[in-house]
A and B are shown apart, each in its own frame.
Chain A
């Protein structure tokens, strides 16, 4: 399970989510899949459920979904946008 840092504020504009990390002042724009993962984590969903939905909604294989999810999570962790709980 992961949790979004309380130092992160965000807004959805059109189809993208824009994040600001108040800790370091960096801005980020998430694409559709990134936004989906971010929202799912915000909603407190379990990783396995998120992966199932990625496979179904984005029409990707299980290994591709896992790879994309893990690399995205690592990036968000490196940027201190989320952390493991």
Chain B
């Protein structure tokens, strides 16, 4: 007997199936806890419908001990193995996901331990295979915040703790449409580069929450608060945009923030660092071409992120957009 549930990751609806009801129940439990989002009647991209099928029982012999000659990358607790027809993700040494290269599907074997870990289940067991599937379909991930004005998108690129989410939210309160504070996708849409996201929630540290009225209740939490967009003051969201500017924020203690010119080759290098995971070399040429096109098409700026928080929206409007 087959059980299934549909969840949503960014703008993609993902079908998760299993012959083991416990797996679906575990996923459903985390859906109930709000960790995974239930498929709702919002904007869903119907071109790609990733399917992941989890099996109970032992891992088949041919997958249980991957050949180290096929190991392409190791990242924290995950090892990536690339074969001609599929990529193998070995998670924490005990769960294995096989992602097909020719179809938007994956099959997985999840350890009992991982079933009880919401973070591993969501971010490793489900989310990573979906990113692999999307990449196989020509849709690539960029780790960046994004706001849009008049269809022109500004990507805010930087590592964790670099002020992306705070800046994204501040801009979204002042005339920019919110796209994402953390994950944007890029694709070639009929010859032009397009960015898209699912503007669903934003993650702010307790300190960042203290900057914004209405977020006082989040200032005591450890880690980052995940705040649904509906609970924010964001008035306008956008799901698609055209590349316009790449901004690399660097937090400084200066009294005034400044937008400074930034060389395109350095911007390109940083985008690569933040976007390309070398888990599998398939698609890397297309991914590089998209990032190169994105860089060449965009204004590139470095932001000295000073203490004049309220001036930032004006600085972005004046510095990145022509006055109308």
Partner of B265, one of A9, A13, A25: A13
Partner of B263, one of A11, A14, A27: A14
Say what secondary structure dominates the interface of chain A: strand
Which of the segments A15-23, A41-49, A58-66, A77-85 contacts the partner chain? A15-23
Given contacts A13-B292, A13-B296, contact A29 B269 (CB under 8 A): yes
Contact A13 B295 (CB under 8 A): yes
Contact A9 B268 (CB under 8 A): no
Given contacts A9-B288, A11-B288, A27-B273, contact A22 B265 (CB under 8 A): no
Contact B273 A16 (CB under 8 A): no
Least CB separation from B268: chain A residue: A13
Q: Interface residues of A, CB < 8 Å — how many?
A: 12
Q: How far is the CB of A78 from chain B (nearest CB, A)?
A: 20
Contact B264 A13 (CB under 8 A): yes
| Chain A residues closer than 8 Å to B288, beta-carbon distance | 9, 11, 20
CA gap between A37 and B70 in the complex, in Å:
32
Which of the segments B171-179, B206-214, B251-259, B278-286 contacts the partner chain? B278-286
| Chain B residues closer than 8 Å to A25, beta-carbon distance | 73, 278
The number of chain B residues touching the other chain, given as a range, is: 10 to 19
Contact B281 A14 (CB under 8 A): no
Q: How far is the CB of B82 from chain A (nearest CB, A)?
A: 10
Contact A18 B281 (CB under 8 A): no
Contact A20 B295 (CB under 8 A): no
Contact B276 A20 (CB under 8 A): yes
Partner of A11, one of B73, B278, B281, B292: B292
CA gap between A25 and B265 in the complex, in Å:
18
Q: How far is the CB of B140 from chain A (nearest CB, A)?
A: 14
CB-defined interface of B268-306 with A at 8 Å, one 1/0 digit per residue?
A: 110011001010010011001100100110000000000
| Chain A residues closer than 8 Å to B272, beta-carbon distance | 18, 20, 27
Q: How far is the CB of A58 from chain B (nearest CB, A)?
A: 19
Contact B269 A22 (CB under 8 A): no
CA gap between A18 and B268 in the complex, in Å:
8
| Chain B residues closer than 8 Å to A15, beta-carbon distance | 265
Which residues of B come within 8 Å of A, CB atoms? 73, 263-266, 268-269, 272-273, 276, 278, 281, 284-285, 288-289, 292, 295-296
16 of the cross-chain contacts (CB-CB < 8 Å) are: A9-B284, A9-B285, A11-B268, A11-B292, A13-B264, A13-B268, A13-B296, A14-B265, A15-B265, A18-B268, A20-B272, A20-B276, A20-B284, A22-B278, A25-B73, A27-B269
6 closest Cβ pairs, A-B complex? A16-B265, A13-B268, A25-B278, A14-B264, A13-B265, A14-B265
